[in-house]
Amino acid sequence: MHGRELEVVRKDPGQRGFQVQPKRWAVERTFSWLTAHRRLARDYETSPAHFETMIRWAMIGIMVRRLTRVGPVSRAGRRPPTRTSA
């Protein structure tokens, strides 16, 4: 499996209610970033190899965007508050 290890993150036996699991959060966040890409939001691809390629392209785009970012991230559709000069 290309030298990767899988670690299952389980909640503590005595845990009650919701508690953030750091490693699980990282995985879910990554899935969220990937599903922001239209072709990955639904299972359009018929070939697993082609689907893997689309995931790689999406992650390359995400990494390039993060590496070239100058200012803080803003969500699509939201505009920063405008400043009025007095």
- Here the tokens at position 74 are 């803003």
Least Cα distance to 40 among 70, 16, 62 occurs for: 62
What's the pLDDT score for residue 73? 61
What's the pLDDT score for residue 61? 87
Least Cα distance to 11 among 1, 27, 2, 22 occurs for: 22
Burial category of 62 from C-beta neighbours within 10 Å (exposed 0-12, middle 13-18, buried 19 and up): middle
For the whole prediction, is pTM greater than 0.75? no
Q: Angle, nearest 10°, between helix axes 48-67 and 22-35? A: 100
What's the pLDDT score for residue 72? 62
What's the pLDDT score for residue 86? 55
Domain ranges of the chain: 22-67
pLDDT along the chain (86 residues), means of 10: 75 80 74 80 78 86 84 62 63
